[in-house]
């Protein structure tokens, strides 16, 4: 196998047939970019990642097994094992089109962007497409719609996120202190922007995503969700916004959540981030018209 230009990093947990379908789709479509696939099996117990390495040419597909590290860290571990100059983080339930890799990387390779999203459609309704997203006044996701040309987006969806290897490791990847799932896409997008990198969406590329009606394949609690919110806030926001985030905590004891966050080194991380960032959170909220 040629040295891969691109590494597709796919975290998976109890994905059933979906992860196999995703890999088969990636292998079938056309591209001029040699790529490898890194599957991070995060403690699946349904056998979904068995025999996946045999689907590609020898050495093209690697399976790494982790012990329930969560979505953000599974992606980081996959990236650390990757050989490509570009990383594309993919959910384990996607379908691709011809030349999607080449066209998604084009703005990064030209220097116009450092990270990109395609349009992400619903397999059950392919015309329903989101193009990255932003926040509303309660820091809830608000998808961009109706776009046709390359544009900057406040957030990129981690379900299909392309980024240069250099940019990813320069910002230390996805947040390493998060619990299970939640806010990892928003945090890395925010971090990229304030550190001086650029996040764009290329609407001329579209992938299809299986949006499952059932609960996620991992045990997720409100404490996990609220912990990640507050860790993001303490890492990046000014004091007034931290206080506003505390008021967004649902179904958990706010004091307990804040105490847990502060016990885990977030203030040291805050200081490091504030020292090196190019823009602050006021710039970010103003640039993307976020009323928070």
Q: Would 216 be classed as within a structural domain?
A: no
Nearest to 161 by CA among 239, 216, 108: 108
Q: Kindly state the helix (H) or strand (E) to which residue 94 belongs, with its residue range.
A: strand 94-95
Q: Where are the alpha helices (DSSP H) in 69-182?
A: 71-80, 100-109, 165-170
Q: How many domains does the chain have?
A: 2
Q: Would 292 be classed as within a structural domain?
A: no
Structure confidence by residue, pLDDT tens digits, 136-152:
999 999 999 999 999 99
Same domain, 76 and 172: yes
Structure confidence by residue, pLDDT tens digits, 73-111:
999 999 999 999 999 999 999 999 999 999 999 999 999
Residue 216 confidence (pLDDT): 66
Instruction: Indicate the pLDDT class of residue 215, thresholds 50, 70 and 90.
Output: low
Q: Would 21 be classed as within a structural domain?
A: yes
Pick from 31-40, 47-56, 136-145: least confident: 47-56
Tell which of 209, 240, 263 closes a domain.
209
Q: Is 209 helix (H, G, I), strand (E, B) or coil?
A: strand
The residue range of the domain holding 15 is: 6-209
Q: Would 116 be classed as within a structural domain?
A: yes
Q: Please give the full DSSP string across 223-236, using - where no structure is assigned.
A: HHHHHHHHHHHHHH
Q: Would 1 be classed as within a structural domain?
A: no
Instruction: Indicate the pLDDT class of residue 3, thresholds 50, 70 and 90.
Output: confident
Average pLDDT value for residue range 11-26 = 96
Residue 122 is part of a domain; what is its CATH number?
Answer: 3.90.550.10
């Amino acid at each position: 196998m040629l040295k891969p230009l691109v590494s597709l990093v796919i975290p998976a947990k109890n994905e059933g047939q979906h992860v196999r379908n995703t890999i088969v789709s990636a292998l079938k479509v056309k591209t001029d970019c040699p790529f490898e696939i890194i599957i991070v099996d995060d403690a699946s117990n349904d056998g979904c990642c068995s025999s996946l390495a045999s689907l590609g040419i020898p050495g093209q597909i690697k399976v790494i097994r982790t012990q329930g590290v969560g979505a953000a860290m599974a992606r980081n571990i996959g990236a650390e094992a990757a050989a490509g100059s570009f990383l594309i983080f993919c959910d384990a339930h996607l379908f691709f089109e011809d030349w999607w890799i080449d066209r998604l990387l084009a703005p990064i390779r030209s220097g116009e962007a450092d990270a990109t999203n395609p349009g992400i459609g619903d397999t059950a309704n392919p015309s329903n497409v989101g193009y990255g997203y932003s926040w509303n006044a309660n820091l809830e996701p608000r998808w961009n719609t109706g776009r046709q040309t390359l544009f900057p987006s406040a957030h990129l969806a981690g379900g299909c996120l392309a980024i240069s290897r250099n940019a990813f490791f320069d910002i230390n990847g996805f947040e390493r202190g998060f619990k299970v799932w939640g806010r990892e896409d928003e945090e890395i997008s925010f971090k990229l922007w304030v550190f001086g990198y650029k996040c764009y969406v290329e609407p001329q590329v579209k992938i299809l995503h299986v949006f499952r009606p059932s609960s996620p394949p991992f045990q997720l609690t409100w404490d996990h969700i609220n912990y990640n919110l507050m860790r993001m806030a303490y890492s990046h926001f000014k004091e007034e916004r931290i206080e506003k985030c505390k008021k967004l905590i649902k179904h958990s004891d706010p004091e307990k959540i804040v105490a847990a966050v502060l016990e885990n080194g977030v203030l040291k991380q805050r200081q490091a981030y504030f020292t090196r960032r190019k823009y602050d959170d006021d710039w970010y909220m103003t640039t993307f018209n976020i009323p928070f």
